[in-house]
Structure 1
Amino acid sequence: MKKLGKAIVVFSGGQDSTTCLFWALKHFEQVETVTFDYNQRHNHEIECAKEIAKELGVNNTVLDMSLLNQLAPNALTRNDIEVKAGEEGELPNTFVPGRNLMFLSFAAVMAKQINAQHLITGVCETDFSGYPDCRDIFIKSLNVTLNLSMDDEFYIHTPLMHLNKAETWELADELGVLDYVREKTLTCYNGVRGDGCGTCPACELRQRGLEQYLAQKSGETL
């Protein structure tokens, strides 16, 4: 399989973005990562992203996006706000307005500087919390806007867009990195690596998907 050119992965060190990083390393000749510091709930996320990138020999750039913390106070930007799921159709209080819009926009500016045309993000509209900026229609719209705004030709790749969490674990397994993703990544809202705290919404979703995939895999081998 012929690899494509240069890519930037929007990288948090979590399950989804790490799976996307391994996917990118398989499909692109050159891969870099960009991590955003928006004074999120814990800085373990940034340290985790740095460590994984270093271990995989991939350049990692951390960009200051602290303005998000000022503009969008919520459970991911404030330690004193308890993480809660959305009720009666409302978005959960972990939704950070404009986050993916800003992340992908700044990733594209960075891509312009290093002559990369491909942007990779782990957003997904299948197993998600209702975040509007994780939808396929938003990504396609933003892709057009970025190309027009910089008179360039970027391609936003979303390998997980139509996968549920079980299928995301399956993809990691197909890439030969299931154990790595399970042990090294940080998805937990409480900053616990690996299988996490087990009680926050992110951990519950991750664990449920893993159990579904492992049960499916076990059934297939009987």
Structure 2
Amino acid sequence: MIKFGNRTDYCKGTVFGWSQRMKRLLTYVFCLSLFVVSLIAWLSNLYGWVLPIELFSHFQAQYFIISLFFILGLLLVSRDQKIQFLAIFTVTIISINILSWYLPFVANQTAENSNLRVLVYNVYKNNESHEKALAMIRKNQADLAVLLEINEIWMQKLKQLNKAFSDVLYSSQINDRGIAIYSKFPLENTSKNLYGKSDKPILSAELTINK
């Protein structure tokens, strides 16, 4: 006589097995995704000056937010404390890249201890709020101001800054992609070039501070 087991127990065991396999799969997916996002965040932060990588360097805050979703998923599907610790550690490392952007006391402390105040400002060629932009530049009391997307109209408006800065360097082509550098320190070994075969200007200069 053959005795069959309880079908309900069999179904429960099957569902439990599938559930465990799904959790393991999701754990691998979340871990791999978190690793990839972290790698992109750190490489783009460390080597953002290389043009192809530079394209990914502008999304540090987004990388941090995405990593939070992945770590939340890991906390839900995995009870492995080692995996949870590594995930939290990874997110903490990513957050270091953006802490100074959003914590006022960190930014102020950095500014107070700095020997050089640098302002990089894309004025935007179609922006007609010239006085507001000039007021913002004066308010920040920058030692070095780099202004982007300068055109002929902006060139005329920016002449008001000549009194506050001892040296001024403009790109040779003043079009919608013009660049202007205003410095309170002497600019030396200046050069004006075009990027590759395009008409995008490049300015370079050397300056010495705290002689």
Is TM (by shorter chain) over 0.5?
no
Larger RCO: Structure 1 or Structure 2 (Cα < 8 Å, ≥ 6 residues apart)? 1
Between Structure 1 and Structure 2, the one with more helix by share is 2
Higher Rg: 2
If the length of structure 2 is used for normalisation, what is the TM-score?
0.20
If the length of structure 1 is used for normalisation, what is the TM-score?
0.19
